[in-house]
Amino acid sequence: MLAGIDYFIVIAYIIGMLLLGLYFKKFVNSSEDYFLGGKSLPFWAIGMSIVVSDIGALDFVGVSGQAYRYGISVGNFDWVGSVPAMLLAAFIFIPYFWRGGMYTIPEYLGRRYNQKVRTIASVTWILFFALDLGVLFWASAVLLNVLMGWPIWISIVSTAGVVGLYTYFGGITAVIMTDVVQFVIMFIGGFALVFLSLYEVGGWDNMVEKIATMGPEYRNHFDIIQPQNTKSPFPWTGILFGLTFVMANAYMIGNQSIVQRCLTAKNEWHAKASMIFGSALKMFIPILVLFPGLMAVVVHPGLADGDQALPLMIKSILPPGLVGLMFAAFFAGLMSSVDSLLNSTATLFTKDIYEPFIKKGADDKHYLKVGQITTLVLLVIGVATSPISSDFPGIYVAIQTFMSYFQGPIFSILLLGIFWKRSTEWGGLSALVIGIGFAVYLNVFKEQFFTIEDPFLYISWWSFLLGVIINISVSSLTKKHTAEQLQGLVFSSKILSKNKNL
């Protein structure tokens, strides 16, 4: 448990976040303010927010733990698994979403294919986000319980109260701006941790030498590319095909909570620049997250659970003050994941379900209210379902697996939707439905198809590939769209220019 100054810092951080978030209430007067921050935010804030929401507290601990167990190959997730996809998103995809004045990714799919594709994609994301909420509330409560000694229920309710209040009132502006603070604190605390850890292990060369003598299981710890028959979940084939080609692109281009941030930019230049700036910042993440995990191999050898590596390093290496600040950043990471889910789910529900199916053509204030009420309802669902997470310890992994079911198929229809004019509404719909079904099938019978324990990278690759094949086959047999229907929705070299007439 934390004590003294560190305890005070965590409390001050939570209260400060609440006050800061509530301050942004004065900037919310319409649904565009609530869902897209009034399209007025600068690239640097959005770029920082993308990085922070991508690397939440659970990932922070998890990636360090994986670096402890498997070495630097886990860094692929932030290098080849993020940077190329973010550049592709910046130059090709974001301009389409931006110029089309869209709020959600399913909205693009609806315009490009049909309403059914939009609804299926939107409902899938809403289900995923709603399930994830309970898990994140539980994780926040456990963290507060361990650090501060608060009972679980008080921890859940206080997390929900703080995050709920500022997301309800401040919308996405509060979400992004609280992320900026977290980013600054995470980077300063993270670099302090790396510097002091290096000092503790006697420098980089000394650490490499020590790890090399620790046994055969550490032989590949400094190989960024792992052989195809590795026991780790990161063989080079999975990294190249599953991660670089599919999951990274699907996450950076097809994930509502990421893309929605870019759409809050003050103009198209800022929208693109936010992704490019985010990709530059992303390259530092492995240094902050992975290195402490590696150094823990020397400082705390033989840990049964690698996920303990980072918290142990923070407690044993950082001085008073920075310990509290880093744990506050952890907590803020969880809050950031929760507020992103709340706001993105409210946007998806209001724009893709409520507006087209429940009440068309209402005034803007009405949709703003619906977005806010949806946020409250989601909050209640998240709090009510959070204890379920404690009954199923593997639920976080299960939810991440669920994400790999639909990332591949959704990316396949997004990719062909933009780059292949011949792709039709039936092609898109069948690729989405069959692709998701195939991913579920592969996961259920994974022992028969794969040799590694957790083949989520392979599953996303094969479901993506099947999605592409189905889309091409069905589209070739069905009626194609007219040129007018495709206006502004398919690739044109004009997207690379400043020409607004696509």
Structure tokens at 324: 């509290």
Please state, in angstroms and rounded to a whole number, the distance separating the CA atoms of residues 212 and 285. Answer: 24
The nearer residue to another protein, 27 or 222, going by C-beta atoms, is: 27
Closest C-alpha to 140, from 130, 154, 128: 154
CB of 321 to another protein, least distance (A): 2
Q: Which one among 11, 152, 157, 188 touches another protein, defined by CB under 8 A?
A: 188
The nearer residue to another protein, 5 or 398, going by C-beta atoms, is: 5
Amino acid occupying residue 479: K
The three-state secondary structure class of 229 is coil
Please state, in angstroms and rounded to a whole number, the distance separating the CA atoms of residues 446 and 440. Answer: 10
CB of 318 to another protein, least distance (A): 8
Please give the residues from 265 up to 324 whose contact with another protein meets the rule CB under 8 A: 266, 318-322, 324
Contacts 24+ apart (CB under 8 A), 410-413: 410/105, 410/109, 410/121, 410/124, 410/250, 410/254, 411/246, 411/249, 411/250, 411/253, 411/254, 411/464, 411/467, 412/464, 412/465, 412/467, 412/468, 412/471, 413/109, 413/113, 413/117, 413/467, 413/471
Beta bridge mates, 265: 41
Q: Which one among 27, 79, 218, 396 touches another protein, defined by CB under 8 A?
A: 27
The nearer residue to another protein, 184 or 496, going by C-beta atoms, is: 184
Q: Which residue has the tokens 């399209």?
A: 39
Residue count, binding to another protein (CB under 8 A): 35
Q: Which residue has the tokens 């089309």?
A: 100
Q: Which one among 7, 11, 42, 222 touches another protein, defined by CB under 8 A?
A: 42
The nearer residue to another protein, 197 or 244, going by C-beta atoms, is: 197
| Length of the chain counted residue by residue | 502
CB of 4 to another protein, least distance (A): 7
The 3-state secondary structure of 476-495, one letter per residue = HHCCCCCCCCCCCCCCCHHH
* DSSP 8-class letter at 496: G
Stretch that binds another protein, among 74-82, 182-190, 219-227, 470-478 (CB under 8 A): 182-190
Helix axes 4-23, 115-148, angle to 10 degrees: 150
Applying CB under 8 A, does 496 fall inside the site for another protein? Answer: no
Closest C-alpha to 41, from 179, 188, 187, 184: 179
CB 132 within 8 A of CB 342: no
Site string for another protein, 439-478 (x = CB under 8 A): ----------------------------------------
CB of 199 to another protein, least distance (A): 6
CB of 23 to another protein, least distance (A): 5
Beta bridge mates, 41: 265
Q: Which one among 16, 100, 437, 488 touches another protein, defined by CB under 8 A?
A: 16
Applying CB under 8 A, does 1 fall inside the site for another protein? Answer: no
Please give the residues from 139 up to 178 whose contact with another protein meets the rule CB under 8 A: 173, 177
484 burial via Cβ count (<10 Å: 0-12, 13-18, 19+) = exposed
Q: Which one among 38, 75, 95, 409 touches another protein, defined by CB under 8 A?
A: 38
The nearer residue to another protein, 281 or 318, going by C-beta atoms, is: 318
The three-state secondary structure class of 41 is strand
CB 269 within 8 A of CB 261: no
How many Cα neighbours within 13 Å face the side chain of 90? 22
Applying CB under 8 A, does 20 fall inside the site for another protein? Answer: yes
CB of 216 to another protein, least distance (A): 35
Stretch that binds another protein, among 11-19, 52-60, 404-412, 474-482 (CB under 8 A): 11-19
Site string for another protein, 214-233 (x = CB under 8 A): --------------------
Stretch that binds another protein, among 21-29, 59-67, 218-226, 454-462 (CB under 8 A): 21-29
Q: Which one among 123, 142, 152, 192 touches another protein, defined by CB under 8 A?
A: 192
* Beta-strand runs (E) in 281-336: none
The three-state secondary structure class of 78 is coil
CB of 192 to another protein, least distance (A): 5
Please give the residues from 230 up to 259 whose contact with another protein meets the rule CB under 8 A: none
Name the residues that contact another protein, by CB under 8 A.
4-5, 8-9, 12-13, 16, 20, 23-24, 27, 38, 40-42, 173, 177, 180-181, 184-185, 188-189, 192, 195-196, 199, 266, 318-322, 324-325
